[in-house]
Structure 1
Amino acid sequence: MKLIAVSAGLSTPSSTRLLADRLIESARGELAAQGHTVPTDVIELRELARDVANHLVTGFPPSRLAAAIDAVTAADGLIVVTPVFTASYSGLFKSFFDLIDPDALTGKPVLTAATGGTARHSLVLEHALRPLFAYLRAAVAPTAVYAASEDWGSGGDEYTDGLPARIRRAGGELAALMAARPARAEPEDDVTALERQLADLRFD
């Protein structure tokens, strides 16, 4: 299995990237506890912004962008994290996923997350991110994680889990979805596929 995170943070350092890293650690730890060694990677969309724009205009992805799209579509699990702009996901985030084949994420486990300056924007997870990935027919983890500025370092209270607890729960849910997904069959090479076709044509 392979786990990929997509971070749409625009600054360096970025709280969006930090949240992506924490979620990867949580999911990878849960999978390791189940006996799975899972390679991970993070795709920083800020490094691909110009390539995304060029692809939207020309219809042809530059090599770095093509590699990122291939990594996302081939992953066994995805973590997607966006900063909130005007009460929704960022334009860069949406533009990148506009370039993904609409069928490529079908059934793929996805954990959604977002960062923002205030907790008032936390509903972006349910009114923007979850519908987007439901439309793409992904298997979206029940717990989505929003991190406002005041959440970092907060342990929560008697009514609300703190950010670390939400990260652990979401990571566990993503790990469970990935572990339960049937293993993908290795694609046949051309020779094997031809032999199978010939065998189907034989008559007794």
Structure 2
Amino acid sequence: MKLVGISGSVVGDKTSQAVHDVLMAAKSFDSSLETELIDLKEYDIEIVRGFPLVSYNQDTWDVVNKITSADALVFGSPIYQASISGVLKNLFDHLPVDAFKSKVTGMVTTGGVEKHFLVSEYQLKPILSYLKGMVPTYSVFVHNDDFNDDNEITNKLVNERITKLSQEMLQLHKAINQNN
């Protein structure tokens, strides 16, 4: 099984660290798990212009193919102006409508305002569902204050939610594949 994490930020490291922590938590439950972190700040994803995927640059092509070939995914986004990041939304716009069919798609968000934990439920979850993703009941919101100066998550409750999300993702993936 391949679990791919996507950090939907082009600045900072908090979102990337949170997604990485979910990947590592999942790996601790299944050592055979293959993981990959796609940090969007390391790629030049072109703005969607309505053309077929082959019309876009190699980075766009590579990231879309990594995502569509993954067995399960965890998406991370910083919250800007009570919304997911534009680069993550742009990436979603490159994907086919059934991109996540029979795939577990976890959610991690980071932000500076506690009320922004609802963004994953009201903005990110509908997008993942529209793309046919199986969205776990657990999601993770990490407040900026939950990181130390080295961008490590120090809040015990957040780390517990990361563990629960990774466990649920693995359980759902196993259940989906037993029935297929």
Same fold (TM over 0.5): yes
Per-residue deviation, 1:58: 5.4
Per-residue deviation, 1:56: 2.8
For 1:126 and 1:86, locate their aligned partners in 2 and report how far apart those are by CA, in whole Å.
Answer: 15
After TM superposition, the score normalised by the length of structure 2 is 0.88
Q: CA RMSD in A?
A: 1.8
Identity %: 26
- 1:85 counterpart letter in structure 2: Y
- 1:29 counterpart letter in structure 2: S
46, 53, 58: which is aligned to 1:52?
A: 46
- 1:3 counterpart letter in structure 2: L
Quote the residue 2:75 is aligned against: 80
Match status 1:136 vs 2:135: no
Change (3 A) 1:52 1:150: same
Quote the residue 2:155 is aligned against: 154
| Aligned partner of residue 11 in structure 1, secondary structure | coil
Return structure 1 stretches of 4+ with deviation > 6 angstroms: none
Cα deviation code 1:23-63 (max 9, x no counterpart) = 0011122223xxxx1211111212334x322x537551212
What is the number of residues matched between the two proteins? 171
Cα deviation code 1:71-98 (max 9, x no counterpart) = 1001011010001011010111000011
| Aligned partner of residue 43 in structure 2, secondary structure | helix
Residues 91-106 of structure 1 aligned to structure 2 (within 5 Å): 91-106=86-101
- Indicate the structure (1 or 2) with the bigger Cα radius of gyration: 1
* Paired residues of 1:145 and 1:166 also in contact (CA < 8 A): yes
For 2:66 and 2:173, locate their aligned partners in 1 and report how far apart those are by CA, in whole Å.
Answer: 16
For 1:41 and 1:56, locate their aligned partners in 2 and report how far apart those are by CA, in whole Å.
Answer: 27
For 2:101 and 2:50, locate their aligned partners in 1 and report how far apart those are by CA, in whole Å.
Answer: 26
Match status 1:38 vs 2:33: yes
Residues 1-204 of structure 1 aligned to structure 2 (within 5 Å): 1-12=1-12, 14-32=13-31, 37-49=32-44, 51-53=45-47, 55-56=48-49, 59=52, 60-152=55-147, 153-155=154-156, 162-182=157-177
| Aligned partner of residue 30 in structure 2, secondary structure | helix
